[in-house]
Chains A and B, each alone.
Chain A
Amino acid sequence: MSDAAPASADLRYEQYDGTKEAEFLPAIRQLISKDLSEPYSIYVYRYFLYQWGNLCYMALDASNKLIGVVVSKLEDHRSGTFRGYIAMLAVQEGYRGQGIATRLVKMAIDAMAARDADEVVLETEVTNTASLKLYERLGFLRSKRLHRYYLNGNTAFRLVLYLKEGTAVKMPQLLQQQALCGDEHGAQNPLLVNHDLVH
Chain B
Amino acid sequence: MDPKMDSGVLQPGETLEHDYDLQKDLLPEEVVGIMDQLLCYETAWHEGYPLSQNLFTSVHLDRLLWPEPRILEEASFDRGKPASPMAMMNRILRAYCLALIKCCDRVIQTVTSRDYYEEEDFSTHTYNRSLLTQIDEAEIQQELSHCWEWLVGELGTQYNISNDLRRALESRLGFRQTLLSAMHQDATEPLNALDPLWRVTATFLGDMKSNHTLGQPVPEAFSPKLQRRLASTVPPRPVVEYTFDEAIQKMTLLCEHSLETIQAIDIRSSSAAGLLSFTWAFASHKPQPLAYPRALLASFIFGGPPEAFSSVLQRDLEELVFTEDTVLDPLNWTIEMSRSSLIPHDPRALIAKTIDDFLARISQCYAYLWSTLCQNRCRIRRMLCHSLREFDHLMADAEIFDNELHDLSKDTLSNPLMTWTYYHKLRQVEWVVQLGFEQEIYQPDELVGMYWWLSQIASSRYTVLEHILPFTRRRHARFAKKKQLREASSVGRTVDYVDAMVKEAKGTALLAGCLSTLYALLHYLKLLPVPERPYSAPALRYELRMKPFLLTVEPPTPPPFEEYRQKTHPLGDYDQPSSDNLSRSLKAMAADADDAVKMAKAEFAALKKLGAKAARCEAVEDAWKKNIASMLSSCVAAGIATSTVKAACSAHSGISRPPSLKVEMPEAWKRYHDWWVVPKVIN
Contacts and interface: CB of A to CB of B under 8 A. Distances in A.
Interface of A: 33, 39, 41, 106, 109, 126, 136-149, 151, 153, 155, 157, 160-169, 178, 180-181, 183-184, 186-188, 192, 195-196, 199
A47 to B, nearest CB: 15
A192 B5 CA distance: 12
Contacts of B14: none
Nearest to A199: B233
Contact of A147 (B118, B120, B535, B547): B120
B377 interface: yes
B363 to A, nearest CB: 11
Interface string B501-538: 00000000000000000000000000000011111110
A138 B541 CA distance: 12
Contacts of A137: 531-533
A147 B544 contact: no
Given A39-B235, A141-B545, A162-B544, A180 B368 contact: yes
A187 B119 CA distance: 9
Given A147-B379, A187-B117, A139 B535 contact: yes
Given A39-B4, A167-B543, A144 B534 contact: no
Contacts of A196: 233-234
Nearest to A180: B368
Nearest to A110: B535
Contacts of B563: none
B49 interface: yes
Contact of B2 (A33, A155, A167): A33
B127 to A, nearest CB: 15
Given A147-B120, A148-B119, A153-B49, A142 B440 contact: yes
Contacts of B235: 39, 41
Given A180-B365, A199-B233, A143 B120 contact: no
Interface in B579-631: none
16 contacts: A33-B4, A139-B533, A139-B541, A143-B544, A146-B120, A147-B120, A147-B378, A148-B121, A151-B119, A153-B48, A155-B378, A168-B546, A169-B551, A181-B371, A183-B386, A187-B117
A162 B386 CA distance: 21
Given A153-B49, A162-B544, A183-B383, A144 B441 contact: yes
A148 B539 CA distance: 32
Nearest to B2: A33
Contacts of B536: 138-140, 161-162
A131 to B, nearest CB: 15
Contacts of A181: 115, 368, 371
A138 B540 CA distance: 13
Contacts of A147: 120-121, 376-379
Nearest to A166: B543
Interface of B: 2, 4-6, 47-49, 115, 117-121, 233-235, 237, 240, 364-365, 368, 371, 376-379, 381-383, 386, 390, 439-443, 446, 531-537, 539-541, 543-547, 550-551
Contacts of B537: 139
Nearest to A136: B443
Contact of B364 (A33, A39, A167, A180): A180
B534 A139 contact: yes
A109 B535 CA distance: 9
A148 B535 contact: no
A144 B382 contact: yes
B441 A143 contact: yes
A167 B546 CA distance: 11
Contacts of B368: 180-181
B533 A188 contact: no
A106 B535 contact: yes
A180 B390 contact: yes
Given A141-B544, A168-B546, A183-B117, 13 more contacts: A33-B4, A33-B5, A139-B533, A139-B537, A141-B443, A146-B378, A147-B120, A148-B119, A153-B49, A161-B535, A165-B540, A188-B119, A192-B234
A54 to B, nearest CB: 19
Contacts of B545: 141
Contacts of B240: 153
6 closest cross-chain pairs (CB), A and B: A139-B536, A139-B533, A39-B5, A147-B378, A168-B547, A162-B540
Contacts of A184: 382, 386
